[in-house]
Structure 1
């Protein structure tokens, strides 16, 4: 994922997008999230996982634009 793509995400993104940015497969990401072991803070909204992009940026070592 490029910095421009990351900048376009807004304040939060879905688990699939965060997994792609981290180089994780979708199945692995959902497994880690369900076990509370995803490398970034994940919030649950019903059946959806939401990942704050601030945590994603920090994990990737990218400062906010």
Structure 2
């Protein structure tokens, strides 16, 4: 049996994943090697839904995280600051009758 394709994903890495990931990344998240991941797909036993796109497998990140028991994305201080800044711009624009940049 082969070793996993790198160290398992950390929470920070998992929350920074794009909307879908390749099979190697999903295998890392589950702590298995790519060969085991392919075998699980062939057997219909991969722990989350897998999409076949062309000749490659893609795993939607939402399904991957849910399969790992992660139901919600945590809120980080940076997210709160960005949200507060956006709310302040909206409030300023409302009071001054100007458009709000996105």
Which TM-score tier does this pair reach, normalised by the shorter chain?
0.7 to 0.9
Higher strand share: 1
Q: What's the Cα RMSD here? A: 1.2
Q: Bigger relative contact order, structure 1 or 2, given CA contacts below 8 A and separation 6+?
A: 1
Name stretches of at least 5 consecutive residues in structure 2 with no aligned partner.
Answer: 1-8, 75-102
Q: Give 2:73's aligned residue.
A: 64
Runs of 4+ in 1 over 6 A off after TM superposition: none
Q: Give 2:53's aligned residue.
A: 45
* TM-score (normalizing by structure 1): 0.87
Deviation readout 1:4-50 (Å, 9 max, x if unpaired): 10111121100110011011111010111233221110000111000
Matched, 1:22 2:22: no
Structure with bigger gyration radius = 2
Number of residue pairs matched by the alignment: 65
